[in-house]
Amino acid sequence: MIAKIGKGSNLIGALSYNQLKVDKGQGSVLFTNNLPEPNTTSNYIAQLCKHFEPYLFLNNKTEKVVRHISLNPNPNDKLSDEKLNEIAKQYMDSMNYENQPYIVYKHNDIEREHIHIVTVCTDLNGKKIDDKYDHLKSMKACREIEKQFNLTCSINQTNEESKRIQFTPVDYTKKNLKAQVASVIRYLPKYYKYDSLASYNALLFLFNIRAERVEASYNEQTKQGLVYFVINEKGEKVSNPFKASLFGNIAGYQELEKHFKSSKEKLKSSSSKASLKQTIKIALNTTNSLNEFKKELLNHGINVVIFQSKDNRIYGVTFIDHNSKSVYKGSDLSKGLSANALNMKWNSEEDYINLVTEVQFQMLSKKTIESKEIKIHPIFEYLYSDEYSTESEQPIPV
């Protein structure tokens, strides 16, 4: 079983993301802990938020107070809802969240059923639950659950060998640039899947390298070729060009074209594509800025390469999943992950209004808020702006 812990500040977004799955018939609520029982009323999200409030008001210092956890058993493990309940409870107990409010969802929108848990990391005394060693605690909890419930172990020899392969970006301040470039471009085609020169360059960008296509005439025929440059952190060229032939056939244009074609089919049918899209969407719905979004995905082994114009408009986005060694353009995963969609979310004056869910909730009285009868935790502040009123229900921004 693999566990992923998302840390963010958008409680409404995390709850709404899961509720939308339920509304679409792609998920269900398994159980709740210290929260209202599941119901089909239109203001269920508001009910949940109201019960989360006491855990938040005494702590205004913790920014990333929301925990959005996914538990992913191996697809070969066929588990009943009762077993999934037991697994979720044992995991939360192991992470010291047994007394916290949390809601457990089951998703079935991809090839395997899996669990999502939404909670907060501050208790009723305003104290933050220690998360310094969350990753190690989570791994230990998963191994114990695998043994107790006889689940398929998520650690295997292939993954361990893959983890031992390490790469570092080219250091353009050193003299052995050719050797550094060679060590990267000879490796990437053996393990990573990318289906275009743009995707290849997005991957190379992580290693401070760029590939450019060139044309040359030979015996009255035009032939395609490649040259490689070392770049700095701003993407500027800081070396003379290196011909692809210096690194062997694997770095040449013809072999690269074959790799593109082969990768295109593999990426399209990859079993990890749905899981990757899901992870990205969760991060998108539980983070409030582009930098926070990128950092959150990096915690899951996913790099985001953003292409922006001088006026900061996003015109390209590529996701590099180091777990499955796959490179995808955002639009190849989903329209909602395209450059235009991300540009609307982060470069518009109405960031959250452009991406909404179908979930609605009943607002608290703005008049009561203004009279200071209720103290508002920062995580709920935007709910009470002039944009919302008690006269009619409004869609939740995510």
What does the block give as tokens for 252? 């040449």
User: Is residue 376 predicted with pLDDT exceeding 80?
Assistant: no
Question: Is residue 364 scored above 50 in pLDDT?
Answer: no
The tokens for 286 are: 């539980």
Asked if residue 203 lies in contact with residue 194, where contact means CB atoms within 8 angstroms, the answer is: yes
Q: Looking at per-residue confidence, does 17 or 231 come out higher?
A: 231
Average of per-residue pLDDT across 361-369: 35
3 state SS of 218: strand
Instruction: Describe the strand order of the beta sheet including 302-308 as a list of residue ranges.
Output: 302-308, 314-321, 326-329
- Alpha-carbon distance of 183 to 328, in angstroms, equals 23
The CATH number given to 2-155+270-354 is: 3.30.930.30
CA-CA distances (angstroms) from residue 87 to 115, 151, 154, 273? 9, 11, 15, 25
CA 143, 148, 151, 153 dihedral sign is positive
Quote the mean pLDDT of the chain.
81
Pairwise CA distance, residues 266 & 332, whole Å? 13
Contact 35, 92 (CB under 8 A): no
pLDDT tens digits, one per residue of 291-305: 888 888 887 889 999
pLDDT digit string, tens, across residues 246-261: 888 888 888 999 999 9
Give the Å distances, CA to CA, from 30 to 80, 104, 324: 11, 6, 29
CA–CA distance, 273 with 271 (Å, rounded to integer): 6
Q: What is the pLDDT, as a whole number, of residue 365?
A: 34
pLDDT in tens, 159-208: 443 443 446 789 988 888 999 999 899 889 988 999 999 999 999 999 99
User: Where do the domains of the chain lie?
Assistant: 2-155+270-354, 167-269, 356-397
